[in-house]
Amino acid sequence: MMSTPLLSLAFAVLLASCTIGMQPDPPSAPKPPSAPEAPEAPEAPDAPEAPDAPDAPDAPEAPEAPSPPQAPRAPEAPGAPGSDHVHHAGPEVDHLLRRIESRRKDLRTLTGSLTYRKDEALLGRREIRSGTLVYETATEDTPERMAVLFDQLVVNNVRRQRKREYIFDGTWLTEFDYQRKTIIRRQLAPEGEVVAAAGPVPMLAYRTRDELLRLYKIKRCDMTEHDWMRDIAKRSEPVFGLRFEPRDGNSQRGEIESIDVVFNDRTLVPEGMAEQSVNGDRKLVLMRDVKINEALTPEMQQKLLEGVPDPLPEGWTIHVEPLAQVGSEE
């Protein structure tokens, strides 16, 4: 089982399932380096008979570009060999990324209240969901797991009680719709493997510093640009913001313009996120009352473990979407 880096946007994969689309394209192979220019021939020395200038050496052949690793259908393929060190960040951003990456060693559980807002530019529609986030790191016996438990929905200022849950274990994303009494199971990786799920809202939790630099241009963001960021900045503990802009070769390029993330400077846990789409849509996430490394209740542990209840409750139906096999015939 693959180990996973720190939680930076662990909740985001679950929110992405609201507009799911988790089949990024693998990155293209890196271009071979250009052949060095041949050195100029030295001038002939002053002598009774000047010797002929030596022939310029042949330029060495450019090495063949390594083939990119074969990518599974659902996850985003890792970078080709050597590509992790192509991109760099400024000293300040690099320092913050190293802090965020190292913090994962101390994180075991995380819970908090969550508010998710989606603004659709074309329809002028605003949807707000509120609920709870639960996250648990991997152990020797269990994979990394997380859940978002929504209990309220507000659409254009009309509030409804709407219970919906998303549970992710690295391989399967399970959605519970309590109004329709349906369960949808989406397989995102082959059995026995885990995957960093991508999609409209990226899950940065599984990404190392080098992977993030390969996928995104990263810089500090201005927290005065968003009213919700200003509210976070007014909290008692200091925060900092980073902006992630998809690079060429990232499957989100052309769909997502930028992702601003606000981190707590002490815990290095994200407390807010704003995703700006190319089409004008926006997705906002706010976290409150975050608790780190507190024991989960037995009920919550059971919910994370069981996936789908067996037997199904009366009146419920289940729909399973297995992982598409590469080369399979339709």
pLDDT at position 86, please? 54
Strand, coil or helix: 63: coil
Domain membership of residue 79 (yes or no) is no
Residue 217 lies in a domain: yes
Q: Which parts of the chain sit beneath pLDDT 70?
A: 1-86, 194-207, 325-330
- pLDDT the model gives residue 101: 86
Could you tell me if residue 185 is inside a domain?
A: yes
Please answer whether residues 11 and 146 qualify as being in contact, where contact means their C-beta atoms are separated by less than 8 angstroms.
yes
Q: Are 320 and 312 in contact (CB under 8 A)?
A: no
184 exposure class (CB count in 10 Å sphere: 0-12, 13-18, 19+): middle
Domain that holds residue 168: 12-22+88-321
Answer whether residue 81 is part of any domain. no
Dihedral angle computed from the Cα positions of residues 89, 94, 96 and 97, in that order, rounded to the nearest 10 degrees:
90
**Residue at 276 is within a domain:** yes
Instruction: Give the pLDDT score at 2.
Output: 34
Give the model's pLDDT for residue 156. 77
CATH number, position 133 = 2.50.20.10
Token pair for 231:
């509210």
Round to whole Å and give the CA distance between 230 and 289.
Answer: 17
CA separation for the pair 251, 143 (Å, rounded) = 26
31 within some domain: no
Per-residue confidence (pLDDT) for residue 277, from 0 to 100: 93
Q: Are strands 270-277 and 256-264 parallel, antiparallel or unpaired?
A: antiparallel
Please state, in angstroms and as integers, the Cα–Cα distance from residue 168 to each residue in 57, 93, 181, following that order. Answer: 59, 30, 19
Q: Is residue 77 part of a domain?
A: no
| Total count of domains within the chain | 1
pTM: predicted TM-score of the whole model, two decimal places = 0.67
CA 21 to chain centre: 13
